[in-house]
């Protein structure tokens, strides 16, 4: 699966499962970490874990397994690393604290609901 397609599928599943403030940021021109970051907010610690579990299961069924998962026991942030796409799922407090949207503001915001990039 192409990186943008993986990012779109992740964002759409998170949206279906009631994640909030979903952003897909294209970072391949400014970083070697990944091609895309997907950033989303869950409404509670339990919701964040459920989102991560459902996303992992959905993408595995599509043939994409994460290279690593971090923060699962954290109370504020779970990271799923799909190599070219890194998904960050936060509680509101965690998202405000780490503020990845601001840190990666030089990246290109991708239109995950449409066909291309903004």
pLDDT on residue 118: 40
pLDDT on residue 115: 56
CA distance readout (Å), 66 to 1, 103, 115: 13, 23, 24
Note whether residue 116 is domain-resident: no
Residue 35, domain extent: 3-110
Read off the DSSP letter of residue 30: T
Those residues of the chain that have pLDDT short of 50 are 116-118
pLDDT on residue 11: 97
pLDDT on residue 33: 93
0.85 exceeded by pTM:
yes
pLDDT on residue 74: 85
| Backbone φ/ψ region at 73: left (φ over 0), alpha (ψ -120 to 50), beta | alpha
Which CATH number fits the domain that encloses residue 56?
Answer: 3.30.460.10
Provide the angle, in degrees to the nearest 10, between the axes of the packed helices 45-61 and 3-16: 140
- Is residue 40 a contact partner of residue 20, using CB atoms and an 8 Å limit? yes
Note whether residue 117 is domain-resident: no
Determine the 3-state secondary structure of 50 from DSSP: helix
């Amino acid at each position: 699966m192409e990186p943008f397609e993986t990012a779109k599928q992740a964002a759409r599943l998170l949206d279906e499962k009631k994640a909030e403030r979903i952003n897909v940021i294209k970072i391949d021109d400014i970083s070697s970490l990944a091609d895309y970051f997907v950033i989303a907010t869950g409404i509670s610690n339990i919701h964040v874990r459920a989102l991560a579990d459902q996303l992992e299961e959905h993408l595995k069924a599509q043939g994409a397994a994460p290279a690593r998962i971090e923060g699962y026991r954290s109370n504020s942030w779970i990271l799923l690393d799909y190599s070219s796409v890194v998904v960050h799922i936060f509680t509101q407090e965690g998202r405000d604290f780490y503020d990845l949207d601001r840190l990666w503001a030089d990246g290109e915001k991708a239109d995950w609901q449409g066909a291309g990039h903004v």
